[in-house]
Structure 1
Amino acid sequence: MQIRYKQFFVILVANLLLAAALFTAISWNFNRSFQEYVRNDQAKELQPLVEGLAEAYQQKGRSWQWLHNNRRQWQRLVQQYLIREAEPDSQVIEVSQSTQRPPRKPRPPHPMTQRLLLSDAHDNPIIELPVINPEHRKTSIQWLPIMIDGEVIGQLGVAHSTELEREMDRLFVTHQLQQSAWIVLGILLISVGLAFPFAKRLVRPVTRLQESMQQLAGGKIEQLEPLPVTSDDELGRLAHAFNLLTDTLKDNLKARQQWIADISHELRTPVAILQGELESLIDGVRPLQPSALKSLHAEVERLTGLINDLYELALSDQGSLSYQRKECSLGALLSDFLEQSQTQLSEKDITLDFHSPNRPLVLFADESRLIQLFRNLLINSLRYTDAGGQLRVRLFEDRNTGTATLIWEDSHPGVADKDLEKLFDRLYRTDSARDRISGGAGLGLAICRAIAEGHQGWIEASHSELGGLKVAVHFPLYGK
């Protein structure tokens, strides 16, 4: 069963239950209110009898003794103060062309006589209800106080049935309940009529998502259109998350295509050079001399380095890049590396400015990987810093974050703003027109990021005050 039909039936069942509860509540409340109305009306009708009893109480010496269990006197009082309406004139009888009223018949006892009772101020019974048939409906007693000058002298009770007794009252209640039933049924039909299109509209985003998922499963990533986000509810957030997913997949697809193209280019170039030089040696165009072998060896080394870098990046993606961690001093390790690199810096006429704190900054890290990171940063500075430039290296502790921060910055030339966020992308070079020798393969900084993240740290690039590139590497301190 489709979701739209499930939602329709859920809404339908919910409306049925709501309609049943609404009708039950309306019926109960109307019956209760109408019975209360009938009791109040009867109490108003009994008010003359209450006043008559108070007057008779005074006339009989302020005592109820004269009426105690005197049912005949009681019926007379009830008959006196609860007089029925006169019979209509239409019931006269014509006799010998003259209109005469029929002889007055003795009036039967008032119908309420059988439901009235009387008690004194101390709740002692004076007139009790007649013996009630066991099959008679359950009754409740409503007491009306009999008062003289603000003093309660007795109580007139009237027994009310839990059910309506007069036919007109029952007909009225039945009619009102039927009207309520028709109203509730109409509301139910309207809700059912609105439930199906509402369920269809509610499922529409899910249907669009299903179609897009089928396209995605079919490999049509580039043709996928973003889903419209028309609300901020769960479905809207789901559509937004799917759009983010498709954008990420499109970016990854483009990156993979670019990655394959760049790798092919980087591998093809040294292979083509090797092939050309070997062919020239085989054809005798170029004599077999040590310089030729040295050139071939340089190309093989460059190709080997590129393959090793690609392999390390692949391992970092899989989380398989090995780390032999132990406690080490970052300052001592960096100081030794820079001291060993003085010869390379001197050849490029680059001055070094190094500052490290006196206290050791201890990491739980792989020393060989950290040296690899330093080496890649140094190669990047040597490759892109003009002769006569400057390299500034700073190492300090950030007590707020509990990290050791390495600041590596060089002098001119600088990096454009648009290139900063892409420096750590694989095979990315700030100038694609650079030759291979000066530009490298664009993997050094990508490996630096992989090493930093492998040590639960992070790396970022910005403009240097010296005019070149500033790279900040953050490592969590051991024990912090």
Structure 2
Amino acid sequence: MGIRNKLFLIFLATFLVLIAAGSGFSFYAFQRSLNTYLDERQQAKVERLADHLGMLYSQSGSWEFLLRNPRQLKRLYILAGDRDEDDKTRGLHHLQLLGENKRPLLGPPAPPGPPGMRIEVPVHAGHRTVGWLTYPNQDAIRDKLDQRFMGRQVDFGIWMLSVGLALSLLVSWLLARHLVAPILALSRHTRHLQEGHYRERLESRRRDELGTLIHQVNQLAERLQQGQAARQRWFSDIAHELRTPVAILQGELEALSDGIRPVNQQALAGLEGQVAHLTHLINDLHDLALADGGNLRYHFTALDFSALLEDALDSYASSFELHDIHCQTQLIDHCPIHGDPVRLRQLLDNLLQNSLKYTQAGGSLTVRLAADGNQWRLTLEDSAPGVPDDALPRLFDYLYRVDSSRNRRTGGSGLGLAICDRIVQAHGGQIHAAHSKQGGLRIDVLLPREAP
């Protein structure tokens, strides 16, 4: 059974239960109120009749005026308030007048039954009780008129129940359709996403949970579309990056084979350089694939990040001196962290190589390490050339290189900063790129301190 039919049955059952409970309660309350009203009405009429009889008794001094003319009791009963022509004598047929000693004087004899089935109303003449008016309890004298009235009410209740059932069917169907419509739209949309149609979006102005779900599914579709575009761009960039060194190797080998270039140490060194570049690119691609799949191994341990940074700077000191780049450091002595020393050294190597490759000769590099709240902040700032504003957010993308002085001729593969981003994320930190005050690029790495 589909969710629409389930919701329809749930709503319908709920409405029917509410209608039945409400109708039953209303009928019971109406019946009780009607009986109470009839009893109070009859009681009031008999009490008014008793007042009239008391005044007449005071004037005549006995019940002879009524015994000589019994029809006068009927007129007095009508005068007491019964204005319904069809109901003039209904109460009178059961009314009996008793004397002071409760002996029957006028009216039909009382039927046998328990005392509680009759109600007695005293007739007073001054301060003296001169008689009694007695009549049966209304529960004992419900006549056909009352039954017909109750029957009409029951018929009206049944008609109202029928209308309520029809409205319940209509409202239940509309509610089920209203609630299930976005779910069916989501089902169709996710099926299209499964088939690879990532450009489609759902339109909805709902502000409830279903609206939130539709918004999230649209965000998912956008992410899938971006992922598809990135994957296509990734494959294209990988093919391009691999094609370049392979084409160079192929050309060099053809020149050597045809005798155009002599086979000497210089030619072999050129081939070795291209092979090294190709090997470096393949290794970087492999590391990124492992990092994205969560399979890049890390061996975390307690270490001093300051000592690891000083060791990396010492290993690159001669290279910076060779390229005429002045390196200035501002470090603190002890920076305890919990991390993988091999991956962190790979992070430092990539950052230092990035500055070494792209900083112009005669430039400078400033490396700072300081505390920043509950984190350690590593900052590298180099001199010109810099990067455009729109390139800063993309520096950590796969195979991205700024199309300026920082290009492929410097030997970069465009994967170093992407690998740095994955390593920093694995250590629970953050990495950002910004413009350097020295005219080049600034890289900030935030790593959490070791827990005490």
TM-score (norm 2): 0.81
1:204 corresponds, among 177, 181, 201, to: 181
Structure-1 residue corresponding to 2:388:
416
The aligned length equals: 421
Shift of 1:405: 1.5
On the 8 A contact 2:94/2:135 being kept in 1, the answer is: no
Structure-2 residue corresponding to 1:7:
7
Shift of 1:256: 0.8
Shift of 1:450: 0.9
Q: 1:83 to 1:148 in 2, by over 3 A?
A: closer
2:356 corresponds, among 376, 382, 392, to: 382
1:474 corresponds, among 426, 446, 451, to: 446
Q: Which moved more, 1:45-54 or 1:246-255?
A: 45-54
1:426 corresponds, among 389, 393, 398, to: 398
On the 8 A contact 1:383/1:438 being kept in 2, the answer is: yes
Structure-2 residue corresponding to 1:336:
311
Shift of 1:16: 2.0
On the 8 A contact 2:397/2:418 being kept in 1, the answer is: yes
2:73 corresponds, among 83, 89, 103, to: 83
Q: 1:326 to 1:198 in 2, by over 3 A?
A: closer
Shift of 1:432: 7.6
Give, as a single letter, the amino acid of the residue that structure 2 aligns with 1:464.
Answer: S
Q: Which moved more, 1:457-466 or 1:160-169?
A: 160-169
Structure-1 residue corresponding to 2:209:
234
Shift of 1:143: 9.9
Task: Provide the C-alpha distance between the structure 1 equivalents of 2:120 and 2:376, rounded to a whole number of angstroms.
Answer: 90
Q: 1:208 to 1:468 in 2, by over 3 A?
A: same
Task: Provide the C-alpha distance between the structure 2 equivalents of 1:147 and 1:131, rounded to a whole number of angstroms.
Answer: 27
Q: 1:48 to 1:346 in 2, by over 3 A?
A: same
SS in 1 for 2:297: coil
In the alignment, structure 1 segments of 5+ residues that lack a partner are 59-72, 89-107, 119-128, 150-154
On the 8 A contact 1:327/1:363 being kept in 2, the answer is: yes
SS in 2 for 1:255: helix
2:278 pairs with 1:288: no
Q: Which has the higher helix share?
A: 2
Task: Provide the C-alpha distance between the structure 2 equivalents of 1:203 and 1:163, rounded to a whole number of angstroms.
Answer: 57
Q: Which moved more, 1:193-202 or 1:443-452?
A: 193-202
Shift of 1:3: 2.9
2:29 pairs with 1:29: yes
2:379 corresponds, among 396, 407, 413, to: 407
Q: Which moved more, 1:230-239 or 1:433-442?
A: 433-442
Structure-1 residue corresponding to 2:45:
45
On the 8 A contact 1:16/1:188 being kept in 2, the answer is: yes
Q: 1:163 to 1:437 in 2, by over 3 A?
A: farther
Task: Provide the C-alpha distance between the structure 1 equivalents of 2:281 and 2:94, rounded to a whole number of angstroms.
Answer: 114
On the 8 A contact 1:404/1:476 being kept in 2, the answer is: yes
2:113 pairs with 1:132: yes
Structure-1 residue corresponding to 2:369:
395
On the 8 A contact 2:379/2:444 being kept in 1, the answer is: yes
Q: How does 1:65-464 map to 2 (within 5 A)?
A: 83-85=73-75, 111-113=94-96, 132=113, 160=137, 165-218=142-195, 220-222=196-198, 224-358=199-333, 360-399=334-373, 402-431=374-403, 435-438=407-410, 440-464=412-436
Q: 1:40 to 1:443 in 2, by over 3 A?
A: same
Shift of 1:293: 0.4
Q: 1:269 to 1:171 in 2, by over 3 A?
A: same
Q: 1:14 to 1:278 in 2, by over 3 A?
A: same
Task: Provide the C-alpha distance between the structure 1 equivalents of 2:266 and 2:370, rounded to a whole number of angstroms.
Answer: 47
Give, as a single letter, the amino acid of the residue that structure 1 aligns with 2:329.
Answer: F
- State the identity %: 38
In the alignment, structure 2 segments of 5+ residues that lack a partner are 79-90, 102-109, 127-131
TM-score (norm 1): 0.77
Structure-1 residue corresponding to 2:129:
none
Q: Which moved more, 1:421-430 or 1:406-415?
A: 406-415
On the 8 A contact 2:330/2:369 being kept in 1, the answer is: yes
On the 8 A contact 1:19/1:185 being kept in 2, the answer is: no
Deviation beyond 6 Å, 4+ runs, structure 1: 52-56, 139-149, 155-159
Q: 1:446 to 1:12 in 2, by over 3 A?
A: same
Give, as a single letter, the amino acid of the residue that structure 2 aligns with 1:271.
Answer: V
Q: Which moved more, 1:436-445 or 1:277-286?
A: 436-445
Task: Provide the C-alpha distance between the structure 1 equivalents of 2:92 and 2:20, rounded to a whole number of angstroms.
Answer: 44
Task: Provide the C-alpha distance between the structure 2 equivalents of 1:157 and 1:450, rounded to a whole number of angstroms.
Answer: 102
Shift of 1:140: 8.7
Shift of 1:228: 1.2
Task: Provide the C-alpha distance between the structure 1 equivalents of 2:323 and 2:117, rounded to a whole number of angstroms.
Answer: 112
RMSD over equivalenced CA pairs, Å: 3.9
Q: 1:43 to 1:353 in 2, by over 3 A?
A: farther
